[in-house]
């Protein structure tokens, strides 16, 4: 095996996987609170468009990322108000949010199609000159470096804090949470704000760090891969890191294999995240494991 | 539900009034956004109305857009009656298109009156089997159908792409992968020099059958019993598993017909971008309509109208078509926000 | 034991609680001392749970005062109760199954800091667990624990939150015998530590094993408080059930002659079924039911009645043994097949179990009738209407509005519709599960008369009920179901609460050889 190929695959999966990871982390927090957001794709698109537009307007990719986070959180608040405040059907609201995101991002991004920006710079790694194998493997933009720490923080938040304990309780049973003196609605709003911000950042990573362009629908279904990834990672932020590398790696691996002339259909490879998730669900269903947050299960993952 | 004429009318007109308000509000919000983007929404709205209602071709294009929406809406409505959530019409559509294409490419020499019914059957079976996967998983208590149909949604287009880029790749259009064009006999006929095709008959037939079965047959009654109280239904001997499997298959089949119509009537071949989200929009149509047949027609009309607004915006004002999704979403948001407990009806 | 003059930990005086016309509690005096186990003994419906819920703040009493350590208090919510040091362990655990034991305990603590202090809580848990024999793996998911261990966590939760009084509602109902032993050891330790324990139960043996004082409740009142050293089983039973002999209804036919005249409609041969999660397993049940007889099944709810009914109707398959319907092996038959053979079901909650709320009355009437009213794909509504009208008339019910949605009807009316539907086809076997639960007096009498009438016409009737009076009035034979097995069989001569009652609560038959 060509070492350049391996490096390429690993670097590719890290770059692809970062965006997936942020989106997944946000969705994990939301689903832990019992809310599934099928509109994640829409949030990511809004983040991608806003981030790109802000970067183009201000010249600063960092401001772009911040703008994307704010835009994502704001858009998710529409979803939160409907689902938490008005008790609207989560699936219908999520799909509506997806369409909203497709449209809104197209509107925001239209003036910036074809515009060039300076994207998030890859940070230099001490000890390696740019261009060396080591540099290619280790030099990434700041969002990549922050991805693992953010995962760890999310894990700590969910499992080690009082807020996280309340969050998990709401996701298991809002009634029990209420009986325990918690405020389920407040927790859900907070969770969805966090999720929206991360979703926006996830989208912005693609436009501001990866492709340095804006095109309609550029997230290409990553939002749904993230939803599958949440399940695959068993709603655990740490497992999400491995899953993001794996699912992100599919894309990277497929490109490298093509370049190397290998005869694996990219489409079959792209199916693997969904097939793997389906397989995992079947296994859990077979062993009668209940791994999903119970309140989520009622309308999304449970089978009675 | 038997209501006398007066109550029915009062009910319908109350809902219509409610809906008029929602649509007006949404149009207002969307107009504000367009103005902020420097466009002229009023002009766009008027242009759309003149195009659609003042112009036979415009109206026919509206019908063309309604066809797949009505079919995918039935695909969501039917399982909804027994309490199942089918968000997989998108994937079922693709698989119906795929199996129909297989037939069209394999049997180009058959005469149309044999080939077309065969392709219709294949389209139905393709979508039906795809939905049946989710149905089986649900019947075996393994996987919730919401998530399985959702995942299958993304696998189906990849299968289609695999074939388009591979075994079914047309040699003529090397740069843009698609299947070879279907023979004339495999093309679903259209009406009166418009693009309105025979799929309209499929859609209307599906709706009528759906309505008949649900309101006039014992099967429909048993289904409504399962949807209303699965515990009681089981205790009364209704075979729930049999219904889950059958209903999912038929629902997927109807969505598959939408796919078959797309490839045999509109595209004339299999392409990778078959559906701009018909499956999801159909789900939303069915949800808004409260799974009622008349409501599905109305909502499909409304959403087809919205997509015409999108076309007009793109052609006359240079706004990307995708932006019209905002209008659709705002309508949905308002409806979702008004009813604080669950969905619109039933 | 505390000295006589000491202030009780908890005292309730003059407590009255009504639910509509029903007087659930009328208690003049009730107290718990520190360092004692007070058993609250009584039959189902005696008012024990109501009193407990008042003490824990779920209900406010209509009258009366509550004192904690001599000070009068208002307990308006469970939070207030916990602040006063009163803890309660319910029959249905309030643990969150997917969270770990640690998480469940932590969640319950007052004033939990923003970052959960794991080490500190763990340390306290270990200390309490060791002292009171409540050792559980803190990292296990609560849902995966054995029931006995879940209960330990419930107790631990309350102790860590500062409870000085613990009310346990029927704690051994869900426990296996060895788990019960463990519980009693824990209670002994808690008692030694000075806590006051209220043990709500209907099981005599427990009470005699571990209580210091026994308060017996009947019909909402405390009818006696006995010191354990002076308590005797017969006295307690007398307090629980009253000691007047039951009035026997005049038998309609000669009981001796009736027994073997019918065909065997239902026979269970050594049937066992493990049931699913949360279900009571049935153990080695053998019984026969003939046409033209009513067999009553007595028992405290939760001893397998629902599972028993479901098994006969075909909703559950037996894991072992055979179920015979009119001589045929029906063990694997579907519900539809069983119904088709002439088996009807009259359950307790018609809206939840036998009707679809969103459908009209007419539509509900046709459900469960198999192919009988099928006309092609549709329904022969005319024949249905005719048959149902006849059924309503024969039963003496007023004809309901067929177009109304089932959800708009009252409980009594729904039960009438269910009866009209189920009895329309002259079923040969009727399974009635708590059929009069929640019905007013008139409807109740109507249902009982109906069952007797069906029996007289030759049907076999299985009546599962909690109401001994009802069973005595209606049954030709009586079986007692306890812990999923048939504990005893009675014939009408022995239809007395003081004979049947004890077997429902697990006392052994020979105990009144005295």
The per-residue pLDDT for B124 is 97
Task: Supply the pLDDT for residue C368.
Answer: 87
Q: Which of B147, B159, B324 sits opposite A301 (nearest CB)?
A: B147
Whether the CB of A175 is below 8 Å from some CB of chain C: the reply is no
pLDDT of residue B5: 67
Sorted by sequence, the CB contacts under 8 Å of residue C195 that are 6+ apart come out as C34, C35, C163, C164, C165, C166
The span from the CA of B53 to the CA of C143, in Å, is 62
Query: Does C67 share its domain with C164?
Result: yes
**A281 near B CB under 8 A:** yes
> Quick one: which of B242, B233, B237 has its CA closest to C341?
B237
> Once rounded to an integer, what is the mean pLDDT over residues A134-151?
85
Write out chain B residues lying below 8 Å of C421, CB-based.
none
Q: Is the pLDDT of residue A5 over 80?
A: no
Say whether both C102 and C212 belong to one domain.
Answer: yes
pLDDT-derived band at C157 (thresholds 50, 70, 90) equals: very high
Do C113 and A162 count as a contact with CB atoms less than 8 A apart? yes
Cβ pair A303:B141 closer than 8 A:
yes
Per-residue confidence at C514, pLDDT binned at 50, 70, 90? very low
As a whole number, mean pLDDT of residues A118-138 equals 72
The torsion of the CA quartet C336, C339, C344, C347, rounded to 10 degrees, works out to -20
For the CA atoms of C140, C146, C152, C158, the dihedral, rounded to the nearest 10 degrees, stands at 70
pLDDT for res A131: 63
Same domain, yes or no, for C359 and C464?
yes
Q: Evaluate whether residue C386 is within a structural domain.
A: yes
- What is the pLDDT confidence band of residue C513, given thresholds at 50, 70 and 90? very low
Which residue has 């149509």 as its token pair? B285
pLDDT of residue C100: 93
205-234 of A, contacting B, C-beta below 8 A = 216-217, 221, 224-225, 227-228, 231
Please indicate if any CB of chain C lies within 8 Å of the CB of B85.
no
pLDDT score of B292 more than 60: yes
B342 — pLDDT class (breaks 50, 70, 90): very low
Q: How close is the nearest chain B Cα to the Cα of A93, in Å?
A: 7
Q: Do C208 and C283 sit in the same domain of this protein?
A: no
- Give the mean pLDDT of B66-76: 97
Q: Are residues C408 and C494 in the same domain?
A: yes
Comparing C-alpha atoms, which of B302, B146, B158, B139 is closest to residue B226?
B139
Q: In this predicted structure, what is the pLDDT of residue C22? A: 79
Q: Inter-chain contact C114–A163, Cβ cutoff 8 Å?
A: yes
* C485 Cα distance to chain centroid: 16
**Are C185 and C261 found together in one domain?**
no
pLDDT in tens, C396-436: 888 888 999 998 888 778 888 999 999 998 899 999 999 88
Owning domain of residue C232: 10-241
- The pTM of the whole model exceeds 0.95: no
C98, A165: Cβ pair inside 8 Å?
A: no
Q: Which pLDDT tens digit goes with each residue over A174-213?
A: 888 887 888 999 999 999 999 999 999 999 999 999 889 9
Inter-chain CB proximity C356 and B228 less than 8 Å:
yes
Cβ-based contacts of C334 with chain B (< 8 Å): 237, 239
pLDDT at B345: 35
Secondary structure of chain B in HEC code, one letter for each residue: CCCCHHHHHHHHHHHHHHHHHHHHHHHHHHHHHHHHCCCCHHHHHHHHHHHHHCCHHHHHHHHHHHHHHHHHHHHHHHHHHCCCCCCCHHHHHHHHHHHHHHHHHHCCCCCHHHHHHHHHHHHHHHHHHHHHHHHHHHHCCCCCHHHHHHHHHHHHHHHHHHHHHCCCCCCCCCCCCCCCCCCHHHCCCECCCCCCECHHHHHHHHHHHHHHHHHHCHHHHHHHHHHHCHHHHHHCCCCHHHHHHHHHHHHHHHHHHHHHHHHHHHHCCCCCCCCCCHHHHHHHHHHHCCCCHHHHHHHHHHHHHHHHHHHHHHHHHCCCHHHHHHHHHHHHHHHHHHCCCCCCCC
Across chain B, mean pLDDT equals 89
pLDDT of residue C510 exceeding 70, the answer is no
Contacts of B287 in chain A (CB under 8 A): 89, 92
The whole-number pLDDT of residue C88 equals 92
C93 touches A: beta carbon within 8 Å: no
CATH number of A3-297: 1.10.3470
Q: Which of residues 184-203 of A touch B (CB under 8 A)?
A: none
Q: Are strands C460-464 and C429-433 parallel, antiparallel or unpaired?
A: parallel
Q: Can you give the pLDDT at residue C256?
A: 40
Q: Which residue has the higher pLDDT, C136 or C78?
A: C136
Q: Which residues of B touch C354 (CB under 8 A)?
A: 232, 235-236
- Answer whether residue C2 shows pLDDT above 60: no
Q: Do B328 and A103 touch (CB under 8 A)?
A: yes
Q: How far apart are the C-alpha atoms of C363 and B223, rounded to whole Å?
A: 12
Q: Which range is least confidently modeled, A46-60, C4-18, C53-67, C146-160?
A: C4-18
Q: Which residues in chain B are closer than 8 Å to A93, comparing Cβ atoms? A: 332-333, 336
Are the CB atoms for A194 and A24 separated by under 8 Å?
no
| CATH class of the structural domain B35-338 | mainly alpha
Question: Which residues of A are less than 8 Å from B330 in CB distance?
Answer: 100
Q: What would the mean pLDDT of B219-242 be, rounded to a whole number?
A: 94
Q: Which 3 state secondary structure label does DSSP give C188?
A: helix
Interface test with B, best of A102, A216, A291 (most B CBs within 10 A): A102
**Residue that finishes a domain, picked among C241, C266, C291:** C241
Please, what is the average pLDDT of chain A?
A: 89
Position C69 in a domain: yes
**Residue that finishes a domain, picked among C217, C241, C265:** C241
A299·B85 Cβ contact <8 A: yes
- Counted across chains B and C, CB pairs separated by less than 8 A come out at 79
Q: Look at residue B93 and tell me whether its pLDDT is greater than 60.
A: yes
Q: Does A296 score more than 70 pLDDT?
A: yes
Q: Do A162 and C79 touch (CB under 8 A)?
A: no
Number of domains in chain C: 2
Contact A227 B150 (CB under 8 A): yes
Q: Looking at beta carbons, which residues of chain C come within 8 Å of B223?
A: none
Which of A39, A88, A276 best tests the B interface by mutation, with the highest count of B CBs <10 A? A88
Nearest to B326 among A107, A110, A303 (CB): A107
Torsion sign across C-alpha atoms B30, B33, B37, B38: positive
Q: What is the pLDDT of residue B1?
A: 46
Question: C-chain residues within 8 Å CB-CB of A173?
Answer: 96
**Which residues from C are below 8 Å from B when comparing CB atoms?**
313, 315, 334-340, 345, 347, 352-360, 363, 366-368, 370, 373-374, 377-379, 403, 405
The DSSP line for C10-27 is: EEEEEEEEEETTEEEEEE
CA dihedral over A43, A49, A51, A57, signed as positive or negative: negative
Q: What are the chain B neighbours of C378 within 8 Å (beta carbons)?
A: 216-218
Using the Cβ of A168 and the Cβ atoms of chain C, whether some distance falls under 8 Å is answered with yes
B4–C contact, CB cutoff 8 A: no
Angle C465-C489-C206 (CA atoms, 0-180°, nearest 5)? Answer: 75
Arithmetic mean of pLDDT, A278-299: 82
Q: Do B165 and A110 touch (CB under 8 A)?
A: no
Query: Cβ of B329 and A100 within 8 Å?
Result: yes
Q: Please report all neighbours of C, defined by 3+ CB atom pairs within 8 A.
A: A, B
The tens digit of pLDDT for each residue in C442-472 reads: 778 888 888 999 999 889 999 999 888 889 9
Cβ contacts of B325 on chain A, cutoff 8 Å: 99-100, 102-103, 106
pLDDT at C260 over 70: no
pLDDT higher than 50, residue B343? no
pLDDT tops 50 at residue B299 = yes
Are B103 and B263 within 8 A, CB to CB?
Answer: no
Note whether A293 contacts C98, CB cutoff 8 Å: yes
Nearest CA to C119 among C138, C104, C96?
A: C138
User: For residue range B269-291, what is the model confidence (pLDDT) as tens digits?
Assistant: 899 889 999 999 999 999 999 88
Window A:85-144, CB contacts with C under 8 Å: none
Percent of chain B predicted with pLDDT > 70: 96
For the segment A87-97, the average pLDDT, to the nearest whole number, is 93
CATH number of the CATH domain containing C339: 3.40.50.300
Q: Is C212's pLDDT higher than 60?
A: yes
Q: How confident is the model at residue A134 (pLDDT cuts 50, 70, 90)?
A: low
Instruction: Please answer yes or no on whether C377 and B218 come within 8 Å at the CB atom.
Output: yes
A180 touching C (Cβ < 8 Å): yes
Partners of residue C116 in chain A, C-beta under 8 Å:
160-162, 165
pLDDT at B10: 76
Q: How far is CA A199 from CA A106, A141, B20, C195, C212, in A?
A: 17, 18, 34, 52, 62
Q: Which helix (H) or strand (E) holds A304?
A: none
Residue C258 has pLDDT above 80, yes or no: no
Task: State how far the Cα of C285 lies from the Cα of A66, in Å rounded to an integer.
Answer: 69
Q: What is the pLDDT of residues C306-326, one digit of tens each?
A: 899 999 999 989 999 999 999
Q: Taking 60 as the threshold, does the pLDDT of residue B29 lie above it?
A: yes
Q: Report yes or no on C142 lying in a domain.
A: yes
Hey, which chains touch B, using 3+ CB pairs under 8 Å? A, C
Across the range C190-208, mean pLDDT stands at 87
Say which of A172, A176, A181 has its CB closest to residue C79: A181
pLDDT (0 to 100) of residue B344? 38
Rounded to an integer, the average pLDDT of B318-329 is 91
All structural domains of chain B with their residue ranges:
35-338
Poorest-pLDDT segment among B159-163, B239-243, C340-344, C501-505:
C501-505
Question: Is the domain of C237 the same as that of C363?
Answer: no
Is the model more confident about C147 or about A51?
A51
pLDDT band at B129 (very low <50, low <70, confident <90, very high): very high
Confidence of residue C245 (pLDDT cuts 50, 70, 90): very low
CA distance to partner chain A, nearest, from residue C115 (Å): 4
Q: Does C105 touch chain A (CB under 8 A)?
A: no
Q: How confident is the model at residue A133 (pLDDT cuts 50, 70, 90)?
A: low
In which band, very low, low, confident or very high, does the pLDDT at C90 lie, cut at 50, 70 and 90?
A: confident
**Inter-chain touch B221–C363, beta carbons under 8 Å:** yes
Mean pLDDT across chain C = 85
Backbone dihedral angles phi then psi of residue C467, each to the nearest 5 degrees: -95, 105
Among the ranges given (A224-228, B314-318, C120-124, C295-299), the one the predictor scored with the smallest mean pLDDT: B314-318
Region C495-505: mean pLDDT is 80
Residue C254: pLDDT band (50, 70, 90) is very low
CB contact under 8 A, C96 and A173: yes
């Amino acid at each position: 095996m060509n070492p350049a190929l391996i490096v390429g695959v690993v670097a590719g999966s890290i770059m692809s996987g970062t965006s997936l990871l942020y989106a997944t982390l946000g969705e994990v927090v939301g689903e832990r609170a019992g809310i599934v957001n099928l509109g994640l794709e829409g949030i990511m698109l809004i983040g991608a468009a806003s981030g790109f537009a802000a970067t183009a307007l201000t010249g600063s990719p960092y401001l772009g990322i911040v703008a994307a986070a704010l835009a994502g959180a704001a858009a998710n608040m529409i979803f939160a108000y409907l689902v938490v405040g008005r008790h609207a059907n989560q699936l219908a609201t999520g799909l509506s949010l997806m369409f909203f995101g497709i449209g809104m991002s197209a509107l925001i991004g239209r003036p910036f199609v074809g515009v060039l920006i300076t994207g998030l710079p890859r940070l230099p790694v001490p000890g390696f000159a740019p261009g060396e194998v080591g540099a290619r493997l280790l030099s990434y933009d700041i969002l990549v470096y922050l991805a693992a720490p953010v995962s760890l923080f999310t894990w700590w938040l969910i499992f080690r804090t009082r807020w996280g304990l309340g969050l998990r309780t709401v996701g298991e049973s809002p009634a029990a949470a209420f009986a325990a003196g918690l405020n389920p609605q407040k927790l859900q709003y907070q969770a969805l704000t966090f999720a929206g911000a991360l979703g926006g950042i996830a989208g912005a990573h693609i436009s501001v760090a990866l492709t340095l362009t804006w095109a309609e629908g550029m997230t290409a279904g990553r939002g749904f891969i993230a939803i599958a990834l949440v399940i695959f990672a068993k709603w655990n932020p740490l497992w999400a890191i491995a899953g993001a590398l794996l699912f992100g790696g599919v894309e990277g691996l497929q490109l490298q294999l093509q370049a190397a002339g290998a005869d694996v259909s990219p489409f079959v490879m792209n199916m693997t995240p969904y097939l793997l998730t389906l397989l995992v669900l079947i296994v859990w269903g077979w062993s009668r494991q209940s791994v999903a947050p119970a309140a989520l299960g009622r309308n999304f993952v449970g089978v009675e | 539900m038997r209501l006398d004429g007066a109550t029915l009318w009062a009910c319908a007109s109350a809902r219509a009034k409610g809906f008029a308000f929602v649509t007006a509000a949404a149009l207002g919000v969307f107009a504000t956004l367009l103005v902020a983007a420097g466009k002229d929404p009023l002009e766009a709205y008027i242009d759309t109305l003149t195009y659609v209602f003042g112009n036979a071709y415009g109206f026919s294009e509206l019908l063309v857009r309604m066809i797949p929406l009505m079919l995918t809406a039935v695909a969501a409505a039917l399982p909804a009656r027994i309490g199942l959530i089918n968000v997989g019409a998108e994937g079922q559509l693709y698989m119906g298109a795929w199996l129909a294409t297989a037939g069209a490419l394999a049997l180009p020499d058959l005469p149309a009156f044999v080939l077309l019914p065969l392709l219709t059957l294949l389209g139905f079976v393709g979508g039906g089997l795809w939905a049946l996967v989710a149905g089986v998983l649900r019947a075996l208590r393994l996987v919730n159908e919401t998530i399985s149909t959702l995942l299958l949604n993304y696998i189906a287009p990849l299968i289609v792409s695999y074939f388009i880029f591979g075994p079914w790749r047309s040699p003529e259009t090397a740069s843009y992968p698609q299947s070879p064009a279907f023979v004339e006999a495999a093309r679903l006929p259209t009406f009166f020099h418009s693009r309105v095709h025979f799929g309209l008959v499929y859609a209307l037939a599906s709706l009528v059958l759906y309505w008949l079965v649900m309101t006039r047959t014992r099967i429909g009654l048993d289904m409504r019993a399962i949807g209303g109280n699965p515990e009681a239904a089981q205790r009364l001997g209704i075979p729930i598993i049999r219904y889950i499997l059958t209903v999912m298959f038929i629902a997927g089949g109807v969505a598959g017909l939408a796919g078959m119509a797309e490839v045999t009537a509109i595209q004339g071949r299999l392409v990778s971008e078959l559906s701009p989200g018909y499956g999801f929009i159909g789900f939303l149509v069915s949800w808004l309509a409260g799974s009622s047949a008349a409501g599905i027609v109305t909502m499909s009309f409304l959403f087809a109208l919205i997509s015409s607004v999108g076309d007009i915006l793109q052609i006359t004002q240079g706004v990307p078509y995708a932006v019209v999704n905002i209008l659709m979403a705002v309508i949905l948001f308002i409806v979702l926000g008004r009813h604080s407990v669950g969905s619109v009806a039933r | 034991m505390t000295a006589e003059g000491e202030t009780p930990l908890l005292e309730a005086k003059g407590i009255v609680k009504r639910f509509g016309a029903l007087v659930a509690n009328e208690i003049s005096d009730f107290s718990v001392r520190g360092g004692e186990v007070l058993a609250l003994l009584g039959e189902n419906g005696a008012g024990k749970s109501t009193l407990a819920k008042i003490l824990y703040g779920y209900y406010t009493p209509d009258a009366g005062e509550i004192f904690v350590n001599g000070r009068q208090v208002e307990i308006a919510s469970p939070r207030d109760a916990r602040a006063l040091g009163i803890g309660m362990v319910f029959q249905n655990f309030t643990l969150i199954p997917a969270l770990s034991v640690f998480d469940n305990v932590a969640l319950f603590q007052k004033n939990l800091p923003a970052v959960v202090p794991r080490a500190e809580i763990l340390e306290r848990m270990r200390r309490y667990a060791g002292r009171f024999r409540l050792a559980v793996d803190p990292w296990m998911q609560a849902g995966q624990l054995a029931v006995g261990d879940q209960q330990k966590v419930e107790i631990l939760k309350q102790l860590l939150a500062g409870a000085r009084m613990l009310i346990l509602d029927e704690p051994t109902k869900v426990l296996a015998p060895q788990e019960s032993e463990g519980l009693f050891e824990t209670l002994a330790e808690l008692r030694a530590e000075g806590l006051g324990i209220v043990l709500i139960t209907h099981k005599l043996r427990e009470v005699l094993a571990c209580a210091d004082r026994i308060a017996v409740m009947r019909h909402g009142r405390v009818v006696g408080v006995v010191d354990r050293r002076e308590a005797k089983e017969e006295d307690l039973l007398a307090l629980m059930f009253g000691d007047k002999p039951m009035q026997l209804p005049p038998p309609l036919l000669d009981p001796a002659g009736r027994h073997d005249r019918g065909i065997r409609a239902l026979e269970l041969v050594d049937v066992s079924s493990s049931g699913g999660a949360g279900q009571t397993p049935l153990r080695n049940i053998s019984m026969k039911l003939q046409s033209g007889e009513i067999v009553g099944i007595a028992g405290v709810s939760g001893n397998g009645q629902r599972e028993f009914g479901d098994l006969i109707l075909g909703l559950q398959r037996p894991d072992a043994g055979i179920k015979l319907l009119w001589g045929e092996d029906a063990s694997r038959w579907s519900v539809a097949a069983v119904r088709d053979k002439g088996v009807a079901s009259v359950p307790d909650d018609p809206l939840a179990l036998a009707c679809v709320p969103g459908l009209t009355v007419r539509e509900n009437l046709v459900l469960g009738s198999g192919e009988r009213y099928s006309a092609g794909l549709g329904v022969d509504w005319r024949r249905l209407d005719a048959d149902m009208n006849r059924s309503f008339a024969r039963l003496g019910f007023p004809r309901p509005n067929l177009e109304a949605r089932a959800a708009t009807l009252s409980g009594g009316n729904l039960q009438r519709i269910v009866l009209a539907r189920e009895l329309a086809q002259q079923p040969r076997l009727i399974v009635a599960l708590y059929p009069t639960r929640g019905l007013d007096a008139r409807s109740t009498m109507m249902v009982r008369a109906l069952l007797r009438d069906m029996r007289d016409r030759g049907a076999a009737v299985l009546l599962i009920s909690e109401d001994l009076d009802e069973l005595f009035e209606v049954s030709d034979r009586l079986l007692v179901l306890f812990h999923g097995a048939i504990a005893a069989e009675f014939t009408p001569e022995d239809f007395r609460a003081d004979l049947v009652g004890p077997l429902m609560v697990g006392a052994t038959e020979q105990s009144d050889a005295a």
